[in-house]
C-alpha cells in the first residue's frame, strides 16, 4: 500500500514539474520572439530573469524530491558505496551551482 501512495506522489510531482517546464518553454519562445522583433532590451532581460527564476524553482523542487527519496534510501540502506556515490553527487550539484 505504501508504494502505491509513493507512486501517486511521484506522479503528481512529475506532472507539476512538467507543467512548470512547459510554462518556461512558452516564456522562452516569447523571449525568442521578442529578440526577433527587436523588443526593448530591458524588457527582454526581465523576461530572461523570470525564466531563470522559474528554472531555479523547478531545479530546487527536483532536488528536494531527490533528497527525500533517493538520498534518504541510500543513507538508510546497507550499501556504503551507494551512500558515498549519492552524497558525492549532491556535493557535485552544489559545486556546479556556485560556478554558474
Predicted confidence (pLDDT) per residue in 42-97, tens digit? 999 999 999 999 999 999 999 999 999 999 999 999 999 999 999 999 999 988 88
Please give the torsion angle defined by the CA atoms of residues 8, 14, 17 and 21, in that order, rounded to the nearest 10 degrees.
-150
Q: Residue 92 phi/psi, 5° resolution?
A: -65, -40
In the predicted model, is pLDDT for residue 40 greater than 60? yes
pTM: 0.76
All structural domains of the chain with their residue ranges: 2-99
In the predicted model, is pLDDT for residue 2 greater than 60? no
CATH superfamily of 2-99: Metal-sensitive repressor, helix protomer (1.20.58.1000)
Q: Spell out a b/e string for 66-81, using b for 16 or more CB atoms within 10 Å of the CB, else e.
A: eeeeebeebeeeeeee
CA 70 to the chain's CA centroid: 15
Between helix 2-36 and helix 41-66 the angle, nearest 10°, is: 170
Between residues 53 and 5, the one the model is more confident about: 53
* C-alpha cell, 6: 509513493
Amino acid at each position: 500500500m505504501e508504494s502505491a501512495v509513493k507512486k501517486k506522489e511521484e506522479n503528481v510531482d512529475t506532472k507539476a514539474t512538467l507543467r512548470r517546464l512547459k510554462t518556461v518553454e512558452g516564456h522562452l519562445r516569447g523571449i525568442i520572439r521578442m529578440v526577433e522583433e527587436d523588443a526593448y532590451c530591458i524588457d527582454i532581460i526581465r523576461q530572461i530573469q523570470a525564466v531563470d527564476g522559474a528554472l531555479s524553482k523547478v531545479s530546487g523542487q527536483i532536488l528536494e524530491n531527490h533528497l527525500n527519496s533517493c538520498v534518504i534510501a541510500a543513507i538508510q540502506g546497507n550499501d556504503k558505496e551507494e551512500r558515498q556515490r549519492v552524497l558525492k553527487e549532491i556535493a557535485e550539484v552544489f559545486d556546479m551551482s556556485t560556478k554558474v
